[in-house]
A and B are shown apart, each in its own frame.
Chain A
Amino acid sequence: MTAAPVMMDESESLLASIRAARSGDSRAFETIMLATERRIASLAWNILGDAEEVKEALQETFVRVFRHLDRYDEQRDFFGWLYRIAVNVCRDLDSRRRRWRLFLPIEHAAEARAREVDFVMKDDVARLMRAIDQLPRKERFAIILRDIEELPTDEVASILGSSPATVRVQISNARAKIRKLMESGR
């Protein structure tokens, strides 16, 4: 009985902060950041797996949120909208990292690879992490949002801009590939 009113209060106060931030109130925007930063950081950490990149993603996400706050439809879930922006930011950072990896000197790349392999061999969780990182981007994002962030399929589809059926296929493919990679790693 007590949970619902508290949630209502939280969402009401978040909405009030959004409205105030829209009119340029930076204090109100700071309140929004405080209320959402850990969830966004957790998502970025699961996708990117690098602390510095998580900070960068967090910063860029909030800048984009502020810039597009007037486009947010109050009838819709704020976190869903926020997640969509965060996923796009992570996607951009991920693309940039892949581009940079091409220019990494060979000896550094080999060293980094050896470190990764050592780490991966430590335990199943690390192997799972490695398997997820090896997935194609769309499948990786789908499985992180669905299985790790535990969002419903419809919401994952909305965040990724796909249909629920596509997301189900992506998740199914991702699980099969993870299983295969986990088995081959043993």
Chain B
Amino acid sequence: MTDFRGPLPLRDSDFAEVRREVLAKLERRPIAPIVFRVALATAAAIALIFIFLPRPQPPAKLPAAVHKTVPIVAPPAPAIEVAQHPPVKPSPKPRHKAEQVVASTGGPPSDSDITMNIQTADPNVRIIWIAQR
């Protein structure tokens, strides 16, 4: 059953041709790695040049004596003419009361602290915000 297609239609010359072609292909193949190596070496050389190239020096630091701690004085703020405007009244109530102010369960907060315990949509995530009054 091994020759169900009939005898192999290749002659010795066909085999020789195939071998020749294969060897020619294999000899052509090393060109690619050589080109790659040359490209790599060139890139490395360029990188080295950039690393060791003398660069323009940054301006020399002033001697230590010159440095003095100068207190930063804020420029005087422009005078605000308060008299021209009516005083802003604080609103009696905050507009929004989105957060639920709850005492923290973590520990007794001091009187001056506000603890906001916000329950998110995720039952496993709770935001606790502690702020000073």
Contact = CB atoms under 8 A, between A and B. Distances in A.
B5 interface: yes
B38 interface: no
Interface in B1-27: 1-2, 4-6, 8-10, 14-15, 17-19, 21-23, 25-27
Given A45-B5, A46-B4, A63 B15 contact: no
Contacts of B1: 147-148, 150
Contacts of B27: 26
B2 A55 contact: no
A45 B2 CA distance: 11
Given A37-B18, A125-B4, A149-B2, A45 B25 contact: no
A148 B26 CA distance: 32
Nearest to A65: B22
B23 to A, nearest CB: 6
A63 B4 contact: no
A45 B9 contact: yes
Contacts of B2: 42, 46, 148-150
Dominant SS at the A interface? helix
A173 to B, nearest CB: 18
Interface residues on A, range: 20 to 34
A59 B22 contact: yes
A108 B21 CA distance: 31
A181 interface: no
Nearest to B17: A55
A55 B4 contact: no
A186 B10 CA distance: 32
Interface in B46-77: none
B23 A37 contact: no
Given A26-B26, A54-B9, A63-B26, A33 B4 contact: no
Q: Which residue among B4, B15, B17 has the maximum number of chain A CB atoms within 10 Å of its CB?
A: B4
Contacts of B19: 30, 33-34, 37, 62
Given A30-B23, A33-B22, 13 more contacts: A26-B23, A29-B26, A33-B18, A37-B18, A41-B10, A42-B8, A45-B8, A49-B5, A55-B18, A62-B22, A63-B25, A132-B4, A150-B1
9 contacts: A33-B22, A37-B19, A42-B2, A45-B9, A49-B5, A55-B14, A63-B22, A128-B4, A148-B2
